[in-house]
Each structure stands twice: as C-alpha cells, then as structure tokens.
Structure 1
Amino acid sequence: MTTEQPTPTTVPATSAFVLTPEAKLVREFMKFQPGYFYGGGDPEAAGKWIVSHQRFHKLMQNDDIIHAHLSEACLRGHAAVWWTTYLDIHPELATWAEFRELFYDEFIPMQVRLRLRGDFMALRQGNRSLMQYMERYRYLLRFSMDVAGTKTLKIYYFVRGVDEQIVDATVSIGATTI
C-alpha cells in the first residue's frame, strides 16, 4: 500500500499590495531614520525635529509639497492627531513653509519663540568655549531669522557675541569667514 503524497501546487508570486510612488518615496525617506515627533510640551525637541527634517529633505532634494508630506508621515501621538485634525479642516496640500509655520505655532508657542529670539539677541560667549557658543548661536538663530536672515547679519550677530580676544586674533590673521 502506497500513500500518495500530495503534489504541491505552485502559487504565482504576487504581491499582496503594490506600493504607490508616494509610498516608495516614504520608504526611501525612512531609510534616513528621520525620527518621529509625538508632540508634547518640549519646544526644544520640536525645534530640533523640524530642523532635522529640513536637513533630510535637502539631502533628498524634494519639492516643497512632498517635503511636507514626508514629514507628516513621521508624526505620532498628539502630533499626528493635531495634523489629521488640521487636514480635516484644510484638505489642500500644504507646502513645507506652511507645514513648518503651523508646526511652530502648535508646538513652539509664540512666547517661547520670542524668548528664544531675545536669548539670541543677548547671546554672548561668556564662559562658553567657542564651540559651545557656536552651537548655542546656531540653535537660537533658527528662531531669529526675522532679525538675522542675511549672511551679513548672521556674521554680525555671531561676531558681536564672541569674546573680544578671539575677535582681535581673528582680525589680526585676516580671516574673512566664520
């Protein structure tokens, strides 16, 4: 008595779903590990998140609207609810500039941005190393582009806060850039 083994049937290799071009772009973007934003009350984390996303988009050379949509894919928790609610009311596509402004309004309140801009205007090197000063300068500059939006003004505000001995040494060697 022989028992016949069932012959396996060949199932054609088909995908359960097909990725749209947009989904493929999101997948490529996620390879950069751009990080998620959950919302909450930490304006500094919000500022760092938006700047990191701007950097990733620059690397990918996305257009303005795709830039915003890729970042929305990284919103979670309260931040995702906020954006979904916004889109329910305003379904038109948001540009990156619009997304960033709305994001700042929601997660970095105006009084915080004004305080950070004031910190920028008052920033001095003091006891910081030059690298620490530069890091703080760059962080605060993000909230002060309305007063330091040109290259000349950025240099002016940077040099204004640097220790005088460093400025004197820099001038004596003829440095022309920061």
Structure 2
Amino acid sequence: MAETLRQQQQQLPPSPPLPVLPLIQAHQADDRTIALTKEFKKMKPPLFCGGVDPLKAEAWVLGIEKLFEVFLCTDAQKVQLAAFTLEGEARRWWMLIGNKDEGINWAQFLEVFYEKYFPQCIWDWKVFEFERLKQGNHTVAEYEAQFTELAKFALHMVDTDYKKARKFEGVLRGSIQERVNVLKFSKYVDVLDRALMSESNMASHNRPFEWKGKMQGSYSN
C-alpha cells in the first residue's frame, strides 16, 4: 500500500508556483501611496479633528479641495490623502467608516462626511442662501466665489451645465445681465467669461469720465 501511494505521488504534476506578481504589485502600490502622501504633506494641508462646528468642517473641505486643484491625483487618492489629515475624533470616525466603504470616490466621501459633520438644518440654510443669492454690489468674481461655494449644497438646482448657467446669469446685476443675456449662452463657462468681460469693459468705459470729473474739480479749486 505504501509503495502504491509513493508511485501515485510521483506521477502527480508539480504544484504551481505561488503568485508572486500580485504581491509585488501590492508593495509597489503601497510605495506609491507613501510617496504621494509625503508630497501632499509638504503642502501643509489643513487638519480636521471633528467636533460640532459645521463651519470648521466646511472650511476643511474648502482647504482640501483648493489643494486638489494643483495637486493632481485620482479620485480614490483624494480620499486617501484627505483621510491622512483627519485627527482625533474625526480619525476614529473614519477608521470605522473607511472599513465599511472601501473604494469610495471623493463625492461619496463628501456625502458621508457632510452627513456626519454638517447637520441637515445647516445644510437647508445653505440651500436657502443659494436660492436668494444675487450679485448685488459684489464684483462678478466675488459673486462667482459665493455661487460656487453654495451650489454644492443645492446640486438639484445646478445638476446640468445649462441649469447652472441660467441660475448664475439670472441674478447678475442688471447692467451686466443685459450684455450677457442677449447672447443666449448655454454653457456656464461662457456666461462667466462674458460677465467678467462685460464688467471689465464697463469699468474701462467709466474710468475716463471719473478722471475728467477729478480734473475739472482740481481746476475749479
């Protein structure tokens, strides 16, 4: 019996080698993540420790997203880098959430983050602010900054580029809106560019009259 088993074992094909390549790839991915994190740390990203102040949570998101404008990385890497800046209670929260939601993208991260640190009542107020937002006496650049900041809380109102363009154009100051509306732009970037150009042209046109008025005043004195 023992001799028979020995012969059968000799006839079996050799065992396949262990899959070394996936292990190597995993180590390479870890090395890239470490290198990316070190580079991101040099930019001194804002830290977030949690708490009950939604304005601090919003300020942290704005600070992180500002860095992402110049620090090129994938959506998944954004989540990894943002998680690196969480400390204290926020870090403990993410350790629980991150284990359940592996592979989430940046938009999904913001959704769970705001759900935790931005109460619904504050969110509703931001939507109300966006609904009432007008350019007023602000410059186009100032108005655009407010528009962009508040729009993320009311995505249902700007979920297409056309709707975003109409919303932005609809509450521009009258003199600027007239110059933009006549062109019937369908893209937000075109509406913004035209509004900025119109504001600049109007300022240039008014400048000689202001200078002339000052000169006449100096002569009368």
TM-score when scaled to structure 1?
A: 0.74
In the comparison of the two structures, how many residue pairs are matched?
159
CA distance, structure 2, for counterparts of residue 71 and residue 29 of structure 1 = 10
Percentage of matched positions with identical amino acids: 25
Of 155, 159, 177, the residue aligned with 1:149 is 159
Partner of 1:83: 94
Q: Conserved in 1, the CA contact under 8 Å of 2:83 and 2:94?
A: yes
Does the alignment pair 1:69 with 2:80? yes
One-letter amino acid of the structure 2 residue matched with residue 149 of structure 1? D
The AA in structure 2 aligned to 1:69 is Q
| Structure 2, gaps ≥5 residues long | 1-29, 193-221
* Structure 1 range deviating more: 77-86 or 56-65: 56-65
| Contact 2:49–2:90 under 8 Å retained in 1 | yes
In structure 2, give the amino acid aligned to 1:146: H
Corresponding residue for residue 142 of structure 2:
132
- Look up the match of 1:42: 53
1:59 aligned partner, one-letter code: V
Distance 2:31 2:143 in 1: 46
Task: Report the CA distance between 1:149 and its aligned residue.
Answer: 2.1
Q: 1:27-85, CA deviations, whole angstroms, 9 ceiling, x for partnerless residues?
A: 01112222111222332332232243234335343222222111100011221122123
**Structure 1 residues 15-36: Cα deviation after superposition (integer angstroms, max 9, x where no partner):** xxxx933222110111222211
Write 1 or 2 for the structure with the bigger share of helix: 2
Could you tell me which of 122, 127, 130 is aligned with 1:117? 127
Q: Which residue of 2 aligns with 1:9?
A: none
1:162 to 165, 172, 185: 172
Task: State which of 25, 31, 37 in structure 1 corresponds to 2:42.
Answer: 31
The residue matched to 2:155 in structure 1 has which SS?
A: coil
- Consecutive unaligned residues in structure 1, runs of 5 or more: 1-18
Change (3 A) 1:55 1:26: same
Judging changes above 3 Å, is the alpha-carbon distance between structure 1 residues 143 and 91 closer, same or farther for their aligned structure 2 residues?
closer
State the distance in 2 between where 1:156 and 1:45 align.
31
Code of the residue aligned with 2:89 in structure 1: it is H
Q: Is the 8 A contact 2:127 2:154 kept in 1?
A: yes
Question: Which residue of structure 2 aligns with residue 7 of structure 1?
Answer: none
* Aligned residue identity for 1:109: P
Whole-angstrom distance in 1 between the partners of 2:93 and 2:165: 37
User: What's the CA shift for 1:165?
Assistant: 2.1
Alpha-carbon RMSD: 2.7
